[in-house]
Amino acid sequence: MDFDLMFTSFPKLLGATAVTLKLLFASLFFGLIIGLLFAILRLNKNIFINKFAYGYSYVFRGTPLLVQIFIIYFGLGQIEYLRSTFLWVILKEPYWCAIIAFTLNTGAYTSEILRSAFQTIKPGIIEASKSLGVSNKIIFFKIQIPIAIRQSLPAYGNEIILMMKGTSLASTVTLMDLTGVAKYIISTTFKPIEVFIVAGGIYLFMTFIVHNIIKFLEKKYYFNS
Amino acid sequence: MKKLKVLGLGILISSFLTISSIADQIKIGTEGAYPPWNSKDSAGNLIGFEVELANELCKIMKHDCTIVEQDWDGMIPALVSRKFDAIMAGMSITGERMKTINFSQGYADEVASLAVMKGSKNEGLKTMSAINLSNVSADEKATLDVLTKAFKGKTIGVQTATIHQNFLESGLMGNIKIRTYKTQDEVNLDLSAGRIDAALAAAVAFTDYAEKSGKGVVLTGPTFAGGDFGNGVGVGIRKGDSKLLNDFNAAIDKARDDGIISKLAIKHFGFDASM
C-alpha cells in the first residue's frame, strides 16, 4: 500500500470533487423542475399528455445512464445537420452534454417520485379545503406541494445519492470529475487500489452528508397524515 | 469423518497442483481497439498485427497461448495483478512504464503524428517531415515553434495513458488544451465531429480510420519519434518473470530472422514497421 500516493492524490481528488458537485447540483436543479413538470403532466386527465409524460419517464428509467450519455455525446455529435445549428454550441461541450443526460435521467425518476407522492395525499384533505372555500391555486401550492415534498423526501434523498454516484459517468465523456481525475492519476502511477480507495472515501463522505441532511429534513417536517 | 477431511484436503491440494502444472499456458492481454496494431472484427474476434504476431511467437516458444481483451487504461494494473502474463497492445517501451513492468526487446515501431480535419487552418502545415525528440536540432526546434504557434489555445485530443499524452503534457507543444479519451475510437469520433481541433496518435491510427470511415481526417505537421515517444513497441512482462521475458526475447529474435515480423507488418501497416 502506497500511503504517500494516497496523501499526494487527496488534494487533487478534492479539487476534482468541485466538478462533481457542480454537475450534481446543476442536474438536480434542472431535474427537479422537469420532474415537477412531468409529475403534474402525469396527473393530467388528458390521455395524450398523460401518456407522453409516462413515455418520457419509461424511456429514461428503462435505459442505462451510460447509454444515454453516450447517445447524447457521441451519438448526436455524428449528425452533421445538428453541427450547423445553434444547438451545437451547447452539444459541443462535454460539460453540457453530461448535464443534459443527467438532468433528463434524474428528471424521469423525480417525476415518478413526485407523482406517487401526490397520489398518496388523501382526497379528504383536498375535499375539506374545498368545502372551506379555499381556491384551487392555494390548495395546490399550500397544501398539495408541501405534503408531496414531505412524502417524497426519503425517496428523493435516495435519488440524490444515486445521481451523485451517477456523475462518475461524466469521466467517460472526457470530463475531469472525481472519477476522471482518479483514473488519470492511475494512468500515470498504475496503482488503482490506493487512488480508488481515496476517491471512494470522498464519495462516501458526500453520501454521509446528503443522508444526514435528508434525515434532518424528514424529522423537521414530520407529520402524521 | 477424518477420512473425508483428508480426502477433501487432497482434492483441494490437487486442484492447486493442476493450476501450477499448466504454467506453460500463458495469457496475453491486448486492447482490441487500436487498429492496425490490434482490433476486433465485426464478429468480435481479436484481429490485427499483434494478434497474429502473438500466435507466431507462441508457436516458436511452444507455449499454449490465449489472447484476452483488456481496456487500455487498466492494462498495466491488470498485468501486475496477474489477470494475464504479457501485454502486446502497441505499448511503447518508456522509462515511466519500466518503473512498474519489464519490456522485451522492441518488435515494431512507428511514428506519431498530429491529425486535423480537411479544411482546417492547420491542414498541410509547412514543417519538416519528421523530427526526432531524442536530440533536437535547430531545424527541429523551428518546426516545434511552428507547431506551438499553429496550435496555440487549441484543444488537442489524445488517448489516455499514452506516449502521445506524455508528449502533449511535456510543454513542447506550448499552450494547448488537452482532452483525454478512453479509446482511440473516441478520439477519432470527436475529431470528425469537430469537438476537438486536432488529435495526436500513431500516424497509422488516423490513416486507418480515414480509410475505413471515409471521414476527411488528414495528417499534418511532422511525424514524431524519440524522446517521450519511447523506444519502439515491446512485450510488457511482470517484473520478476525473467523466464518468460527471455522466452519472448528469443522468440522475437527468431521471428525477426525468419522475416515473420516484417511480413506481418507489411500486411497490416502497408510498410515495414518491424524493428
Return d(Cα A180, Cα A182) in angstroms, integer. Answer: 5
pLDDT at A47: 94
Q: Hey, is the C-beta of A172 within 8 angstroms of any chain B C-beta?
A: yes
Taking an 8 Å cut-off on Cβ atoms, the answer to whether B182 and A188 are in contact is no
Q: Hey, is the C-beta of A191 within 8 angstroms of any chain B C-beta?
A: yes
Residue of chain A whose alpha carbon sits nearest to that of B186? A74
ipTM of the complex: 0.82
Per-residue pLDDT of B187-204, as tens digits, reads 999 999 999 999 999 999
Asked whether residue B22 carries a pLDDT value surpassing 60, the answer given is no
Which of the following CATH numbers is that of domain A3-224: 1.10.3720.10, 2.40.50.100, 1.20.58.220, 3.40.50.720? 1.10.3720.10
C-alpha cell at B117: 480535419
Taking an 8 Å cut-off on Cβ atoms, the answer to whether B189 and A188 are in contact is no
Query: pLDDT class for B21, splitting at 50, 70, 90?
Result: very low
The domain segmentation of chain A, as residue ranges, is 3-224
Q: Which of B60, B34, B199 is nearest to B120 (CA)?
A: B199
Return d(Cα A163, Cα A59) in angstroms, integer. Answer: 17
pLDDT at A138: 92
The tens place of each residue's pLDDT in chain A, 225 residues long, gives: 889 999 999 999 999 999 999 999 999 999 999 999 999 999 889 999 999 999 999 999 999 999 999 999 999 988 888 888 999 999 999 999 999 999 999 999 999 999 999 999 989 999 999 999 999 999 988 988 888 888 899 999 999 999 999 999 999 999 999 999 999 999 888 899 999 999 999 999 999 999 999 999 999 887 665
When comparing pLDDT for A224 and B57, which is higher?
B57
Query: pLDDT class for B1, splitting at 50, 70, 90?
Result: low
Asked whether residue B20 carries a pLDDT value surpassing 50, the answer given is no
The chain B residues in contact with chain A (CB within 8 A) are 73-74, 76-77, 80, 96, 100, 157, 160-161, 179-182, 186, 189-190, 193-195
In A, residues 106-135, which contact B (CB 8 Å cutoff)?
A: none
Taking an 8 Å cut-off on Cβ atoms, the answer to whether A184 and B181 are in contact is no
Chain A residues touching residue B186 (CB < 8 angstroms) = 74
Mean pLDDT of B147-151: 95
Chain A residues touching residue B180 (CB < 8 angstroms) = 174, 184
What sign has the CA pseudo-torsion B208, B209, B214, B216?
negative
Of A77, A78, A190, the CB nearest to B80: A190
Residues sharing a CB contact under 8 Å with residue B208, sequence separation 6 or more, in sequence order: B35, B36
Mean pLDDT of B180-190: 94
C-alpha cell at B92: 511503447
Taking an 8 Å cut-off on Cβ atoms, the answer to whether B76 and A184 are in contact is no
Q: What are phi and psi of A46, to 5 degrees?
A: -65, 125
Taking an 8 Å cut-off on Cβ atoms, the answer to whether B195 and A184 are in contact is no
Of A78, A83, A187, the CB nearest to B161: A187
Asked whether residue B8 carries a pLDDT value surpassing 80, the answer given is no
